[in-house]
Amino acid sequence: MEISDLNLRAAMTSPFRNLFELLDIWTFARWDRRAEAQGWTVVKPQPLVHVYRHSGFASMVTCGGCGGEGVTRKGACHTCLGSGRQRPEPDR
């Protein structure tokens, strides 16, 4: 095998990549299991970054009473209780 056959960049980054993957698994394993057990989706856009999302959040819409701000001129929005989001009205 010749030196030109070796991919030095891959050889140099591979140990670090493996280390980050192991650290990622070790760090987030408990949180990932808990989120998945509760029905949340876990997205891993890059090493050491995990995004947890509850499926019910996608079913919520911006509050019409406060425009998603959570407050009105009179204080906290009573429609969404200050969250800025609410469940959509069921179709009748």
Contact 85, 70 (CB under 8 A): no
Taking the C-alpha atoms of residue 85 and residue 55, their distance in angstroms, rounded to an integer, is: 14
pLDDT at 92: 60
Q: How many CB atoms lie within 10 A of CB 79?
A: 15
Q: Could you tell me the pTM of the whole model? A: 0.50
- Based on its alpha-carbon atoms, the radius of gyration of the chain, rounded to whole angstroms, reads 23
Q: What is the pLDDT of residues 32-80, one digit of tens each?
A: 999 999 999 999 988 888 999 887 777 788 998 899 899 999 999 998 9
